Amino acid sequence: MVLITGASGEMGHALIEALAEEGTPVLAADVRPLPHELAQRCVAVLTGAEGDVTSPAFVERAAQFPIGQIFHLAAVLSTAAERDPVRAHRVNVDGTLAVLSLAQQRGEQARHPVQVMFPSTIAVYGFGSLEEKQRVSAVREDQALHPHTLYGIAKLHCERLGEYYTNHYMQLAGEARWVDFRALRFPGLISAETLPSGGTSDYAPEMLHAAAQGIPYRCFVRPSTRIPFMAMPDGIKALRMLAEAPAEYLSQRVYNIGAFAPTAEEIAAIVRRYFPDAVIEYDVDERRQAIVDSWCTDVDDSAARRDWGWQPEYDFERAFAEYLVPAVTRRYRQTTPVQQ
């Protein structure tokens, strides 16, 4: 059985659909209820306190199921985390510790490792200045690990927790270790199906969704701002590829993955290409800009490509032409994009 925390988000939706289609039993957990059609595809759904990874009720209830794999998606994202860092730390760190402890407990009972898949982030990187950032064209997993945000700090800490549970858990007591932790450092994810929900990289999907609805958009970063992005289907693909990779192929527990790294103006230009009436202006929020400036320009994902064959399906042009524009147009059905 597969447990998915934070299951009500789009990544959770897509995973439930894919796993249910294969006949894999899914236990979904989220503080919010799932749509009825999606809930019907799950063996059980934990909501409210039982779906809250910070609640003792979550561990107590989840421990009653024969869980063999966990996709731990529950998190408070970067912008929301800066507005309430205490809550974000509780959800992002304490919640992850609860999930890892649950995995260890289930593994001990089954005498078989429980895999924990963890979506991390480029927010774990932190550069002190634009000049320092520009000297590193594509950051490796071991570089610039000086995050400036609570979100990045928490994710980096949880990566280390996962490595601890996998490699060093209770090492003085000689306890057996039953956690198989694997993490992906995601770039900004652009989805056509769900609205942005508190990420500092949300200017990219916000531009697109606003244009598709015919709503003017004021971008909160400079036109020259460049960070890596990925289409949501590739994010799902990467999670599943790493989950399915044989353990002996993995040289590390945490991997970068990338797809494309446009500037904000390049994103605006391609949005205008498909939605010529789009109104996109710039109103830089210096505080949010400073956060984005601390992140990397691009990622070196050569380890993922070498170890488990990572290759994105969507580059920048294809992401808009074949996934984003058709899907947001279907979603809103108000604006007809220009055919390219």
Q: Pick the catalytic residue from 151, 165, 217, 255.
A: 151
Helix (H, G, I), strand (E, B) or coil at 102: helix
Q: Which residue in this structure is represented by tokens 């290409």?
A: 273
Integer distance in angstroms from the first to the last C-alpha of the chain?
A: 44
Helix (H, G, I), strand (E, B) or coil at 9: coil
What DSSP state is assigned to residue 263?
B
Residue 18, class by beta-carbon neighbours within 10 Å (0-12 exposed, 13-18 middle, 19+ buried)?
A: middle
Radius of gyration from C-alpha coordinates of the chain: 20
Residue 138, class by beta-carbon neighbours within 10 Å (0-12 exposed, 13-18 middle, 19+ buried)?
A: middle
Phi then psi for 105, rounded to 5 degrees? -60, -45
* CA–CA distance, 245 with 266 (Å, rounded to integer): 35
**Dihedral sign (CA 110, 118, 147, 31):** negative
Mark whether 314 is an active-site residue: no
Of the candidates 12, 93, 19, the one whose C-alpha atom is nearest the C-alpha of residue 46 is 12
Strand partners, 119: 184
Strand partners, 72: 5
Of the candidates 296, 184, 177, 298, the one whose C-alpha atom is nearest the C-alpha of residue 234 is 184
Taking 3-state DSSP, the helix, strand and coil percentages for the chain, each rounded to the nearest 5, stand at 45, 15, 40
* CA–CA distance, 246 with 293 (Å, rounded to integer): 36
Catalytic annotation, residues:
151
